[in-house]
Amino acid sequence: MTRVAEAVGQALARAGADVVFGVMGSGNLSVTNALVDAGVPFHAARHEGGAICMADGYARVSGRLAVCSVHQGPGLTNAITGLTEAAKSRTPLIVLAADTPAAALRSNFRIDQDALVESVGAVAERVHGPESALADVARAARRAREERRAVVLMLPLDVQAAEAAGEPPPAAPALDRPRPGADAVAAVAALLAASERPALIAGRGAVLAGAGPALRALGERCGAVLATSAVANGLFAGDPYDAGIAGGFSSPLAAELLADSDVVVGFGAALNQWTTRHGSLIGPAARVAQVDLDGDAIGAHRPVAAGVIGDAAATAEALLEAVPERPGRRGPALAAALAEGRWRDQPYAESAGGLDPRTLTIALDDLLPAARTVVVDSGHFMGWPSMYLGVPDAAGFVFPQAFQCVGLGLGNAIGAALARPDRLTVAALGDGGALMALPELDTLARLAPNLIVVIYDDAAYGAEVHHFRPLGEAVGLAQFPPTDFAALAEAAGCRGLTVRTTQELDGVRDWLAAPDRPLVVDAKVDPDLCAEWLEEAFRVH
Ligand SMILES: Cc1ncc(C[n+]2csc(CCOP(=O)(O)OP(=O)(O)O)c2C)c(N)n1
């Protein structure tokens, strides 16, 4: 007899599940075994909070469907923080969550799982019964993919144990993204056709749509500078008119170019406070247009002169047909300025109070192979890797910041490393975020030899220290004695290296020559150096 649990695992494999991360419990072992038997690789995390982040990072980098498998009740609650990030970032993924039987009213494990996951923006789906099970799986997979949602598929224990029945639903046709309306495209085309200094800003929607090539061509057509929100960093890598990240991490030249633009068009970008530096990167006379699949996103943060509901790639292609060839603001002088206008080209006064994080990051940028995936946790430090480490493309940058949550970086990095084992994965963490993800040092040692963790270790929740100290507030509660991350790493089976000077990065060079185990670099950075972007963000906090 085939039970529903097995049939669900098999159906999910057929629906395109590429990988499964999880923590085993009695409620999810059978379905996960079925996935593995159907050829889907399984990777064990040590905490569900790690497993969901691994699935998120894997999906972001591979563009394929990742699954996270958890036990009912506490297995799911442990995954909720990472699930919130995935849901807010619109990562297409599936959480397979066991659930208590409807009649088990007194089960210790019982919670309202549907309400819980819906409250954080994920989609609650359910295997309702043996007859509907295969259709339920197909619907969950389709919603994850087509709607770009984090879907939680509930698997009640009694339904799992029942005998499988029912036929697979007929194969669904592939769907094209909605084509933009002709009038809306014409309105944006008219703005670009009249623009002297256009800028195109791409966000995560553009990355998910694969809009990079069409946007590069559109930029060329109308003579625009190209920029991305932080989360889409890398989308225009190598383009001579790529100004890099728009927002707090913008280089001085990028900020100047963006603020001086007469037309700004966002593609799958919210144009929120972060991307516009609280509005200051969009000049008062600039005309703004926004392209988004979600009508609610258009004009949400700033009034727009034109809006298009449509896929970023399809709309960029439609605009290419409608916009005449123009020089816009492009020319050799601008290309030359951009080539020398990166953050690492800016002079700075080296910090006197310990390792300068800029010097550290520039040295790493030189040392580490260019074929890399950079994954950044949240905290004060997060500007350094985003601003000073180059990335080869959008898949080479993972920025799980939609929930502004500390501690998601390590799990995302392990998932990213499994998605792209051909590239070196660089996990940039703060000491606070590293300690929140500590159980996954064990997973790191088991699964991801080609991964370097760089801990910007200021022995503090630096973001809080730098926020409150200037206000005269005591910050001792956010400061800690030193942590020996190298020893923790070695104990978990990784290599550990403590770095106080750039000379000590020789240990990284040695490791790169023979990366047998992942390397954890504990970089003891100057705790008193406050990043300019953070100072500025706090001024308007
Ligand atoms: C889960 C979570 N807890 C608390 C916070 C508040 N918070 C924001 S930044 C930060 C400090 C993070 O410290 P660390 O990882 O060491 O990075 P640093 O700021 O020192 O560079 C904290 C606690 C948060 N954003 N997320």
**Segment 400-404 mean pLDDT:** 97
CA distance 16 to 226: 34
Task: Please indicate whether residue 406, judged by its CB atom, sits closer than 6 Å to ligand 1.
Answer: yes
pLDDT of res. 41: 98
The yes-or-no verdict on residue 540 having pLDDT over 80 is no
CA of 45 to the centre of ligand 1 (A): 22
Task: Please indicate whether residue 431, judged by its CB atom, sits closer than 6 Å to ligand 1.
Answer: yes
Task: Please indicate whether residue 407, judged by its CB atom, sits closer than 6 Å to ligand 1.
Answer: yes
Q: Are 278 and 250 in contact (CB under 8 A)?
A: no
Whole-number mean pLDDT of the chain? Answer: 97
Dihedral sign from CA coordinates of 79, 85, 86, 90: positive
**Segment 457-461 mean pLDDT:** 98
pLDDT of res. 173: 87
Q: Are 259 and 281 in contact (CB under 8 A)?
A: yes
Digit-coded pLDDT (tens) for 322-360: 999 999 999 999 999 999 999 999 999 999 888 999 999
pLDDT of res. 537: 81
Ligand 1 closest atom vs CA 405: 26
pLDDT of res. 539: 72
End-to-end CA distance of the chain: give it in Å, rounded. Answer: 60
Digit-coded pLDDT (tens) for 81-114: 999 999 999 999 999 999 999 999 999 999 999 9
CA of 181 to the centre of ligand 1 (A): 43
**Segment 1-7 mean pLDDT:** 97
Give which of 300, 523, 303 is closest to 427, Cα–Cα. Answer: 523
Digit-coded pLDDT (tens) for 27-76: 999 999 999 999 999 999 999 999 999 999 999 999 999 999 999 999 99
Digit-coded pLDDT (tens) for 210-225: 999 999 999 999 999 9
pLDDT of res. 541: 55
Task: Please indicate whether residue 380, judged by its CB atom, sits closer than 6 Å to ligand 1.
Answer: yes
The yes-or-no verdict on residue 399 having pLDDT over 60 is yes
The yes-or-no verdict on residue 175 having pLDDT over 90 is no
Helix (H, G, I), strand (E, B) or coil at 485: helix
**Segment 167-180 mean pLDDT:** 86
Best residue for ligand 1 mutational test, from 53, 378, 469 (most atoms within 8 Å of Cβ)? 378
Contacts of 9 (CB under 8 A, 6+ apart): 30, 31, 32, 33, 34, 35, 36, 37, 38
The yes-or-no verdict on residue 320 having pLDDT over 90 is yes
**Segment 247-267 mean pLDDT:** 98
